[in-house]
Chain A
Amino acid sequence: MTAGRLDAETARMARVDRVAGWPRLAFAVAAWAFLAGVVVQVFLVGIDLFAGGDSGVHRDFAYVYGWLAPVLVLLAGAADVSGRGRALAVALVVLFAIQVVLPTLRESYPGLAILHTPNALAIFALAVALVQRARTAEVWAEVRRWSGRGPIDG
């Protein structure tokens, strides 16, 4: 192979690496951000229950990070996540939508409203599973390689 062809091949590989890499990075960032959102959301319940906080803050905070759930579905497709990973992202959207509705049922169907707390646990579990599927360590290694601080073939 001539030097010119080798350079072209290297440039093509770098392009492929970037196209496959950025959605994965975005997926990892979104998954971690969503998990952090869930933890903050639960802390706000604690503030409401134990420190006399306003329950409206807990309610409104859901809309601050909730949009990440459908974004994770899109990114799961772009990042070439496995079918199971994509199914988890879809399940997260469904459970999150249900979660928003459950407290509104406290008057009409209090037995269903109770499920708000275990459903929160399920959302947390799905968020953890998505973070695990984001393979953050690998993504971080890629970022370091792109920025020229990591091993070239790492």
Chain B
Amino acid sequence: MNRRAAIFAAIAWLYLVGIIAQVILAGASLFVELDWSVHGELGYGLGTGVLLVLLAGLATRPDRRTVGYLVALTASGLIQPMLAEAREVAPFVAAFHPVNALALTWLAWVVARRATALSGFPALPGRRSLEDGTGSHL
């Protein structure tokens, strides 16, 4: 097992869990009137988290495609709080905050799976398609 890749995988999965928790907190703010600041605070924490994922990923010297996903994840993660902050000046831009959350989740999932594949952990469903880069199959 590749130790650096194992750390990368652990951080990537933790980041994905953080995103899911963030989505649940958004639901709590919408439906049980939990203060939105809780969602906001975790959001800033995840902004730091995405940089950790990037650094841990780059430390494993991954293939070009994984680097591409890492860069996209980092960009998406860093603009996410900015989108929410744009609500006063550009509300229609801010409206992309939840859409970007979908992209962020997908990218975090892809990166976590690639990190797992790099680390040598047992195969996940669809791992073969990860390696040949074609996605899942019929």
Q: Interface on A for B, CB 8 Å cutoff?
A: 38-39, 42-43, 45-47, 49-53, 80-82, 85, 103, 106, 110-111, 113-118, 120-121, 124-125, 128-129, 132-133, 135
Question: Contact residue range for chain B?
Answer: 20 to 34
- Complexed CA–CA distance, A124 and B100 (Å): 12
Q: Give the distance in Å from the alpha carbon of A114 to the alpha carbon of B138 in the complex.
A: 33
Q: Residue B98 contacts which of A42, A81, A103, A132 (CB distance < 8 angstroms)?
A: A42
Closest to B129 in A: A132
Contact B102 A121 (CB under 8 A): yes
- Measured CB to CB, the residues of B under 8 A from A are 20, 23-24, 26-28, 30-32, 84, 87, 91-92, 94-99, 101-102, 105-106, 109, 135-138
Nearest residue (CB) in B for A35 is B102
Q: What residues of chain A lie closer than 8 Å to B94, measured between beta carbons?
A: 46, 50-51
Of B20, B87, B96, which is within 8 A of A121 by CB? Answer: B20
Q: How far is the CA of A111 from the CA of B136 in the complex (A)?
A: 34
What is the chain B residue whose CB lies nearest that of A48? B95
Whether the Cβ atoms of A46 and B26 lie closer than 8 Å is no
A85, A110, A117, A121: residue with the most chain B Cβ atoms closer than 10 Å? A117
Say which residue of A82, A110, A125 sits within 8 Å of B32 (CB atoms).
A110
B24 engages A45 (CB within 8 Å): no
Would B31 and A116 count as touching, CB distance under 8 A? yes
Assess the A124–B105 pair: CB atoms within 8 A.
yes
For residue A47, which residues in chain B have a CB less than 8 angstroms away from its CB? 92, 95
Chain A: which residue is nearest B87 at the CB level? A50
Separation of A56 and B114 alpha carbons in the complex (Å): 40
| CA gap between A50 and B98 in the complex, in Å | 10
- Chain B minimum-CB-distance residue to A55: B30
Which of chain B's residues have a CB closer than 8 A to the CB of A49?
95, 97-98
